[in-house]
Structure 1
């Protein structure tokens, strides 16, 4: 309550979820690690998550195709049509 900007800094960001925020480069990326205080921590198999913030869906799709990303959403419209067929 004392820090109105708590959510803008990983040092003061509070979470009760399976991951805790360790790094936040605004409009670029997030890094999260497994939260050892999470009530079901033994069920969490990932050590962490690196989340790239990519604004352009075509760029994100190309990063996925080249192995730079494990997931890309949303997909460009023309790609959806190609994947359906």
Structure 2
């Protein structure tokens, strides 16, 4: 009996899971950008509850935090746009 499972239901489930895992990192950056946009639009004029209300730095507040998180998680998008693939998951 062969241990190669290509063509079986289990093999297709693994392929679907691998495809989903490869695309999962692409969700972080747009999610944080959307959260920054929503926070900025919905909280105009309202101070952040957990952040300071003084304007000591332009990087204070939830909008800036979500914007920075979106920028920090943009690596998978930059790799995708540059055409470079991550070879650790593929033979």
TM-score range, shorter chain: under 0.3
Larger Rg: 2
Identify the structure with the greater helix proportion.
2
TM-score (norm 2): 0.20
TM-score (norm 1): 0.21
Identify the structure with the greater strand proportion.
1
